[in-house]
Structure 1
Amino acid sequence: MGAHGHPEGPTLPMNRIAWAVLVPLAVATLVGLVLLWPSATPPTAQPPAPEFKGVVLALQGEECTGEQTGPPSSCGTVTARITTPEGDREIEAPLSRSPSAPDLSVGDEVVVAASESPDGPIYGVVDHQRGSELVVVLVALALALVAFGRWRGFTALVGLAITFGVLFAFIVPAVIAGSSPVLVALVGASLITLTVLYLTHGVSLPTTVAVLGTMTALASRRACPS
C-alpha cells in the first residue's frame, strides 16, 4: 500500500512550492518590462550613409602614385549601375586596394554606400550582395533542425526567434534610451528564460526548477556584479 498508494505524493508539494516562487518572479519580470520599455528610440547623432544595390559594369585600374604610409587605398575606379528610389543610375567609385576591400569583377552584384559632400555625393563599394545566400543558409539550417529535432526542433526555432525579438525590440532600444543596462539585461534575460525554457522543454517540475535556478543566478549576478 505504501509502495503503490501515492507515488506522486512528494512531487506535488515540490511542484506547488516551485510555482509559488516562480509566479512572483514572472510578475516582477512583467512589471520591469512595462517600466523599462522604451517609449521612443532617440535619433542617432549621425544617420547612416544610404546604401544601394548595384552591379559592377567596368573596372579601371591605375598604378598607385604618391607616398604610401600604409597599404594603397584607392587606385583606379569602378563603374557600377545602382538602383535608387529615383531610378537606375551609373556611378563611379574609387577602386579600393585595401586588404578589407571586396575583390571585384565585372558583373558582380554589390552594395554601394553614398555620402554627401560639398561637391556632390561620393560613392563607395562596401561589399558584395549576400542577402540571398544568407537566406538560403538560414532556411537550410531551419529545415535541418526541424527534420532531425521534429517538434523539439521547431520549438527551439521559435525560442530563438523570441530571444532575438526580446534583444532587438526591448534590450537594445531600452539601453539606447538611457535605462540602466544591468536592470534591462536582468529583465530581458528573465523574460527569455521564462518563455524559451517552457516552450522548448514543456511545463514540468524539472523545467520549473531549471527556470528558478537560472533566474536565481541572474538575481545573484545583479546583487553581486563583481
Structure 2
Amino acid sequence: MDHSHSHHHGPAAPVSKHLRKIIGAVLIPFATAVVAGLIVLWPGGAPEQDEQTGVGFDRQMEKARVTKVEEVNCKDVHAQQQNNDAATDGQCQQATVEVTTGPHQGRTFTAVITPDDTRRLSTGQNVVVAYAPQAPEELQYSVVDVDRNFPIILLAVFFALVVVAVGRLRGVLALVGLAITFAVLTLFILPAILQGSNPLVVAVVGGSTIMLVTLYLCHGLTARTSVAVLGTLISLVLIGLLGSLFIAWAKLTGNTNDQTALVHSLYPDIEIRGVLLASVLIGSLGVLDDVTVTQTSAVWELKQADPTATWRTLYTSAMRIGRDHIASVVNTLVLAYAGAALPLLLLFSVAQASVSTVATSELVAEEIVRTLVGSIGLVASVPVTTGLAALVVSTGLSGTEPSGPSGRGRRRRAKR
C-alpha cells in the first residue's frame, strides 16, 4: 500500500506544482489588475447637477399622510372639468393630503384619483409627494407614490433571518457579501458610468471585484474557490466577447425605453450600447457564480467519496450533475428575463405583427441577445470549471491524497 502511494506521488508532485503556478499566474495578476482598475476608475460620487430636472426620480420628494378621503362624482371635480378628453363618469376619490416633511410641513393639498387610476388611497395612509417650486402654490405638491418603507424593511429582515437560520455562519457571510455587492454597485459601478468611464470596463472591474470578494469571503481562500473563480472568469470573458460581437452585429443601440432615453438626455456622453453590454455581464455574474461553485463542490465531494477516482472518472461523473444544472439554469435565466419583460410580452401578444417581426424588433432582440449570450457563457462554464476542478483534485493540489494505480486496479476488481 505504501509502495503504491510513493510510486504515484513522484509524478503527481511536479504536476500539482506546475498547476499551482498556472493558477497563481492567472489569479494574482487578475486580482492586481482589478484593484488597479478600481483605483484608476474610482469616481468619487455621482456627478453633481446644477439643478434638479424635475423628471422621474430627479425631483424633490417629501413624505405626506392622507388625512381624509371622499368619494365624489368626477363631473363635480374641477380638475376633471379642465380635461375634456378624460372620462367624466363614475366616482373619483378626493383625498386631503398633509405634507409631513420639508419646508412646508403641515401644509395640506387636495389630490384627485380618477376611476382609471390603478392606485387607490385610504385615510391614514403614508404617501410620497413631489414638490415643484416653480408651480402655483395650489399645484406645488402632487402624490407620486405610496410610502412602502415598512413592508420592504420587514421583508429584508425576514430574508436575513431565514438566510442566517438555514446557512448559519455561511449565511452571515453571504449577507456580508450581498452588502459588498450593493456597495460596489452604488459606490463604484453606477457613479463611474455616470462620470463617463467606459461602461464595459467599469462592469468588468466592478463585476470582478464582486466575484473575488464574495466567492473568497463565502467559500474561503482555498484551491476549490480559486477553481470556481477561474471558471467564472473564463466564462465572463466569453460572455463579454460574444456580447460585444452580437450587440454590434445586430446593431443594437441599447436606447429602447424611457429610462435609457432619460439617462441619455441627462448624460449625453454615456455610451448606451456599452451600458447594455455591462448589464449582460452583471446579469450573468450571479448565476455564473452559482454554477461554478456547485460544479467545483461536486468534483471535491466525488473525490472524497472515491479517493481512487481518476481525472476522467471525476469529470464524467461531475458532468452528469452539470448537465442537470445546465437544463435548470438556462430555463431559470430565460424565465427571469421573461418575468421582467412580462408587460412588454403582453403588448406584443395582442399586436397584429408577425412573430418574426416582433422577435427581431430592437426591444425584443435586445432581450434575446442578453438571454442567449448569458446562457452560452453559463453552459460553457460547466465543462470548463468541471475540467479544472477534476485536474486540481486528481493532481493532489487540493490536499486530497491521490491513490496509486494499484489501488485503482483493486477498486475495479472489487466492482467486478
TM-score, normalized by the shorter chain, greater than 0.5: yes
Match of 2:97 among 80, 88, 97: 80
The secondary structure found in structure 2 opposite 1:126 is: strand
The secondary structure found in structure 2 opposite 1:89 is: coil
Q: Which residue of 2 aligns with 1:107?
A: 124
Match of 2:73 among 54, 63, 72: 63
The yes-or-no answer on 1:46 pairing with 2:63 is no
Contact 1:19–1:208 (8 Å) recurs in 2 = no
CA distance in 1: counterparts of 2:241 and 2:163, whole angstroms: 38
CA distance in 1: counterparts of 2:161 and 2:45, whole angstroms: 36
- Structure 1 or 2: more helix by fraction: 2
Contact 1:38–1:174 (8 Å) recurs in 2 = yes
Contact 2:97–2:111 (8 Å) recurs in 1 = no
Task: Using the aligned pairs only, state the percent identity.
Answer: 36
CA deviation vs aligned residue, 1:148-201 (integer Å, no higher than 9, x gap) = 011111111111111111111100000001010111011111111111111111
Q: Within 5 A, what are the aligned runs for 1:129-168?
A: 129-168=147-186
The secondary structure found in structure 2 opposite 1:110 is: strand
Greater C-alpha radius of gyration: 2
Q: Which residue of 2 aligns with 1:96?
A: 113
Could you list the runs of 5+ residues in structure 1 that have no partner in the other structure?
A: none
Contact 2:95–2:111 (8 Å) recurs in 1 = yes
The secondary structure found in structure 2 opposite 1:212 is: helix
Q: CA deviation at 1:75?
A: 4.8
Please provide the CA RMSD for this pair. 2.7
Q: CA deviation at 1:3?
A: 3.6
Please, which moves more after superposition, 40-49 or 22-31?
Answer: 40-49
TM-score normalised over the length of structure 2: 0.49
Q: CA deviation at 1:82?
A: 1.8
Please, which moves more after superposition, 142-151 or 106-115?
Answer: 106-115
Q: Which residue of 2 aligns with 1:22?
A: 27
The secondary structure found in structure 1 opposite 2:141 is: strand
CA distance in 1: counterparts of 2:25 and 2:226, whole angstroms: 11
Name the amino acid aligned to 2:111: P
Going from structure 1 to structure 2, the CA distance change for 1:42 and 1:71 (only over 3 Å counts) comes to farther
**Count of paired positions:** 225
Please, which moves more after superposition, 42-51 or 63-72?
Answer: 63-72
TM-score normalised over the length of structure 1: 0.86
- Structure 1 or 2: more strand by fraction: 1
Q: CA deviation at 1:83?
A: 1.6
Going from structure 1 to structure 2, the CA distance change for 1:182 and 1:12 (only over 3 Å counts) comes to same
The secondary structure found in structure 1 opposite 2:181 is: helix
CA deviation vs aligned residue, 1:83-142 (integer Å, no higher than 9, x gap) = 224463132132222655531111112222221234235211222221122111111110
Q: Within 5 A, what are the aligned runs for 1:147-226?
A: 147-224=165-242, 225-226=244-245
Contact 2:60–2:131 (8 Å) recurs in 1 = yes
CA distance in 2: counterparts of 1:158 and 1:126, whole angstroms: 33
